[in-house]
Amino acid sequence: MRRSLFISRRLVIAIGVATGASIGVAYAASLGLSSNQLHAWSQTLTKATCNQTSTTGDDTFAQQALPASTAGGTATTLTIKPTAGSQDYAFIRFDLSGCSLPTTAGADSAVLSVRVTTAGSDTISVFPVTSSWSSSTLTWNGVSALTIGSTATGTFSASTTGAKTVTVTADVDTAIKAGALWGWELRATSGTATVAIGAAENGTAANRPSMTLNDEK
Protein backbone atom coordinates (compact mmCIF):
# COMPACT_ATOMS: atom_id res chain seq x y z
CA MET A 1 0.00 0.00 0.00
CA ARG A 2 2.76 2.41 0.98
CA ARG A 3 4.78 1.49 -2.12
CA SER A 4 1.73 2.10 -4.31
CA LEU A 5 1.11 5.50 -2.67
CA PHE A 6 4.75 6.46 -3.16
CA ILE A 7 4.62 5.58 -6.86
CA SER A 8 1.41 7.60 -7.28
CA ARG A 9 2.99 10.66 -5.74
CA ARG A 10 6.00 10.38 -8.04
CA LEU A 11 3.63 10.13 -10.98
CA VAL A 12 1.76 13.27 -9.95
CA ILE A 13 5.02 15.21 -9.57
CA ALA A 14 6.28 14.01 -12.97
CA ILE A 15 3.05 15.02 -14.66
CA GLY A 16 3.17 18.43 -12.93
CA VAL A 17 6.73 19.09 -14.11
CA ALA A 18 5.90 18.03 -17.66
CA THR A 19 2.79 20.20 -17.68
CA GLY A 20 4.76 23.19 -16.33
CA ALA A 21 7.43 22.74 -18.98
CA SER A 22 4.78 22.51 -21.65
CA ILE A 23 3.11 25.72 -20.42
CA GLY A 24 6.51 27.41 -20.27
CA VAL A 25 7.23 26.58 -23.90
CA ALA A 26 3.77 27.74 -24.95
CA TYR A 27 4.19 31.02 -23.04
CA ALA A 28 7.61 31.54 -24.58
CA ALA A 29 6.16 30.92 -28.02
CA SER A 30 3.40 33.47 -27.38
CA LEU A 31 6.11 36.07 -26.72
CA GLY A 32 7.89 35.23 -29.97
CA LEU A 33 10.69 33.45 -28.12
CA SER A 34 12.27 30.05 -28.79
CA SER A 35 12.14 27.27 -26.20
CA ASN A 36 15.85 26.51 -26.46
CA GLN A 37 17.05 30.08 -25.98
CA LEU A 38 14.79 32.91 -24.90
CA HIS A 39 15.53 36.07 -26.86
CA ALA A 40 13.60 39.09 -28.13
CA TRP A 41 13.31 39.53 -31.88
CA SER A 42 15.80 42.22 -32.97
CA GLN A 43 14.88 45.34 -34.91
CA THR A 44 17.36 46.96 -37.28
CA LEU A 45 17.91 50.66 -36.61
CA THR A 46 19.18 52.96 -39.34
CA LYS A 47 21.72 55.48 -38.10
CA ALA A 48 22.53 58.66 -40.00
CA THR A 49 24.00 62.13 -39.69
CA CYS A 50 21.98 65.17 -40.72
CA ASN A 51 23.94 68.42 -40.87
CA GLN A 52 21.93 71.62 -40.50
CA THR A 53 23.39 74.81 -41.96
CA SER A 54 22.25 78.32 -42.85
CA THR A 55 20.27 76.90 -45.77
CA THR A 56 17.88 75.21 -43.32
CA GLY A 57 18.26 77.76 -40.54
CA ASP A 58 16.15 80.68 -39.39
CA ASP A 59 17.35 83.26 -36.89
CA THR A 60 16.74 86.72 -35.53
CA PHE A 61 17.20 88.86 -32.45
CA ALA A 62 14.57 90.78 -30.51
CA GLN A 63 15.34 94.21 -29.05
CA GLN A 64 13.76 95.54 -25.90
CA ALA A 65 14.66 99.08 -27.00
CA LEU A 66 12.74 98.57 -30.28
CA PRO A 67 9.89 96.34 -29.12
CA ALA A 68 7.98 96.28 -32.43
CA SER A 69 10.99 95.90 -34.75
CA THR A 70 11.53 92.83 -36.96
CA ALA A 71 14.85 94.08 -38.36
CA GLY A 72 16.76 91.30 -36.59
CA GLY A 73 15.41 88.80 -39.10
CA THR A 74 17.54 90.21 -41.94
CA ALA A 75 20.63 91.11 -39.91
CA THR A 76 24.02 89.54 -40.63
CA THR A 77 24.81 89.33 -36.90
CA LEU A 78 22.62 88.60 -33.88
CA THR A 79 23.22 90.78 -30.85
CA ILE A 80 22.78 89.61 -27.26
CA LYS A 81 22.66 92.25 -24.52
CA PRO A 82 22.13 91.86 -20.78
CA THR A 83 21.53 95.56 -20.04
CA ALA A 84 18.31 96.03 -18.05
CA GLY A 85 15.77 97.99 -20.09
CA SER A 86 17.75 97.46 -23.29
CA GLN A 87 18.14 93.70 -23.59
CA ASP A 88 18.61 91.79 -26.85
CA TYR A 89 17.75 88.08 -27.16
CA ALA A 90 18.84 85.94 -30.12
CA PHE A 91 16.75 83.10 -31.59
CA ILE A 92 17.98 80.21 -33.76
CA ARG A 93 16.17 77.20 -35.21
CA PHE A 94 16.55 74.66 -38.04
CA ASP A 95 14.15 72.86 -40.37
CA LEU A 96 14.60 69.09 -39.91
CA SER A 97 12.17 68.10 -42.69
CA GLY A 98 15.08 67.36 -45.02
CA CYS A 99 16.33 64.71 -42.60
CA SER A 100 13.21 62.56 -43.31
CA LEU A 101 12.79 61.68 -39.65
CA PRO A 102 9.65 59.82 -38.52
CA THR A 103 8.26 60.70 -35.09
CA THR A 104 9.55 57.30 -33.92
CA ALA A 105 13.14 58.38 -34.66
CA GLY A 106 15.53 59.52 -31.97
CA ALA A 107 18.54 61.79 -31.55
CA ASP A 108 21.73 59.98 -30.54
CA SER A 109 23.51 63.33 -30.31
CA ALA A 110 22.93 66.91 -31.43
CA VAL A 111 25.32 69.85 -31.14
CA LEU A 112 24.47 73.49 -31.84
CA SER A 113 27.39 75.59 -33.11
CA VAL A 114 27.57 79.38 -33.26
CA ARG A 115 30.45 81.80 -33.81
CA VAL A 116 31.01 84.80 -31.57
CA THR A 117 32.05 87.73 -33.79
CA THR A 118 32.02 90.40 -31.06
CA ALA A 119 33.26 89.17 -27.69
CA GLY A 120 32.20 90.31 -24.25
CA SER A 121 32.60 89.05 -20.70
CA ASP A 122 29.15 87.44 -20.73
CA THR A 123 27.83 83.94 -20.16
CA ILE A 124 25.33 83.08 -22.87
CA SER A 125 22.61 80.62 -21.87
CA VAL A 126 20.66 78.58 -24.40
CA PHE A 127 16.96 77.93 -23.62
CA PRO A 128 14.66 75.61 -25.63
CA VAL A 129 11.71 77.20 -27.45
CA THR A 130 8.71 74.92 -27.95
CA SER A 131 6.25 77.21 -29.73
CA SER A 132 6.35 78.53 -33.28
CA TRP A 133 8.10 81.70 -34.37
CA SER A 134 9.52 83.16 -37.58
CA SER A 135 12.37 85.59 -38.07
CA SER A 136 10.18 87.69 -40.38
CA THR A 137 7.59 88.40 -37.67
CA LEU A 138 9.17 87.93 -34.23
CA THR A 139 9.46 91.13 -32.16
CA TRP A 140 10.35 91.85 -28.56
CA ASN A 141 6.63 92.26 -27.87
CA GLY A 142 6.05 88.78 -29.30
CA VAL A 143 8.68 87.05 -27.16
CA SER A 144 6.39 86.96 -24.12
CA ALA A 145 3.91 84.84 -26.09
CA LEU A 146 6.49 82.11 -26.79
CA THR A 147 6.85 78.97 -24.69
CA ILE A 148 10.48 79.02 -23.53
CA GLY A 149 12.06 76.54 -21.12
CA SER A 150 12.91 77.89 -17.67
CA THR A 151 16.09 75.81 -17.45
CA ALA A 152 19.00 76.42 -19.80
CA THR A 153 20.02 73.50 -21.99
CA GLY A 154 23.62 74.71 -21.86
CA THR A 155 25.88 77.75 -21.72
CA PHE A 156 29.01 79.13 -23.33
CA SER A 157 31.40 81.96 -22.56
CA ALA A 158 31.45 84.86 -25.02
CA SER A 159 34.67 86.31 -23.62
CA THR A 160 36.56 85.32 -26.79
CA THR A 161 35.58 85.29 -30.44
CA GLY A 162 35.30 82.05 -32.38
CA ALA A 163 33.23 78.89 -32.51
CA LYS A 164 31.12 77.89 -29.49
CA THR A 165 29.16 74.67 -29.11
CA VAL A 166 26.29 73.51 -26.91
CA THR A 167 24.98 69.94 -26.65
CA VAL A 168 21.24 70.02 -27.38
CA THR A 169 20.48 66.29 -27.77
CA ALA A 170 17.51 66.15 -25.39
CA ASP A 171 15.88 69.21 -26.97
CA VAL A 172 16.20 67.83 -30.49
CA ASP A 173 15.01 64.36 -29.48
CA THR A 174 11.86 65.90 -27.96
CA ALA A 175 11.35 68.08 -31.04
CA ILE A 176 11.59 65.10 -33.41
CA LYS A 177 8.83 63.33 -31.52
CA ALA A 178 6.72 66.50 -31.54
CA GLY A 179 7.21 66.87 -35.28
CA ALA A 180 8.85 70.33 -35.23
CA LEU A 181 12.03 72.02 -34.03
CA TRP A 182 11.42 75.55 -32.79
CA GLY A 183 15.00 76.07 -31.67
CA TRP A 184 16.51 78.13 -28.90
CA GLU A 185 16.62 81.53 -27.28
CA LEU A 186 20.15 82.78 -26.54
CA ARG A 187 20.28 85.15 -23.59
CA ALA A 188 23.10 86.73 -21.56
CA THR A 189 22.71 85.48 -17.98
CA SER A 190 25.81 87.21 -16.65
CA GLY A 191 28.04 90.07 -17.75
CA THR A 192 27.45 93.59 -19.04
CA ALA A 193 28.79 93.62 -22.62
CA THR A 194 26.98 93.53 -25.95
CA VAL A 195 27.88 90.27 -27.70
CA ALA A 196 27.33 89.41 -31.37
CA ILE A 197 27.17 86.04 -33.12
CA GLY A 198 27.01 85.38 -36.85
CA ALA A 199 23.57 85.02 -38.41
CA ALA A 200 22.41 82.77 -41.25
CA GLU A 201 22.69 85.82 -43.53
CA ASN A 202 26.33 86.47 -42.60
CA GLY A 203 28.61 86.92 -45.62
CA THR A 204 31.19 84.53 -44.16
CA ALA A 205 29.93 80.96 -44.18
CA ALA A 206 32.06 79.98 -41.18
CA ASN A 207 30.25 82.59 -39.04
CA ARG A 208 26.78 81.11 -39.60
CA PRO A 209 24.99 78.90 -37.05
CA SER A 210 24.88 75.16 -37.68
CA MET A 211 23.82 71.96 -36.00
CA THR A 212 25.05 68.40 -36.35
CA LEU A 213 22.47 65.70 -35.63
CA ASN A 214 23.28 62.01 -35.33
CA ASP A 215 20.01 60.10 -35.36
CA GLU A 216 18.53 56.62 -35.52
CA LYS A 217 15.25 55.60 -37.13
Q: How many residues does the chain have?
A: 217
Residue 170 pLDDT grade (very low, low, confident, very high; cuts 50, 70, 90): very high
Residue 151 in this model has a pLDDT that exceeds 90: yes
Please return the burial class of 116, using the count of CB atoms within 10 Å of its CB with bins 0-12, 13-18 and 19+: buried
DSSP per position, 16-61: HHHHHHHHHHHHHHHTT--SSS--PPP----EEEEEE-TTSEEEEE
CA 98 to chain centre: 16
Residue 152 pLDDT grade (very low, low, confident, very high; cuts 50, 70, 90): very high
Domains of the chain are 1-42 (no CATH), 47-216 (2.60.120)
3-state SS, residue 8: helix
Residue 17 pLDDT grade (very low, low, confident, very high; cuts 50, 70, 90): very low
- Kindly report which listed range (22-31, 46-55, 58-67) carries the lowest average pLDDT score: 22-31
Residue 74 in this model has a pLDDT that exceeds 70: yes
**104 φ, ψ (degrees, to nearest 5):** -90, -5
DSSP per position, 76-126: SEEEEB--TTS-EEEEEEE-GGGG---TT-EEEEEEEEEEEEE--S-EEEE
Q: What percent of the chain has pLDDT over 90?
A: 77
Instruction: Work out the angle at residue 207's Cα, subtended by the Cα atoms of residues 73 and 187, and round it to the nearest 5 degrees.
Output: 55
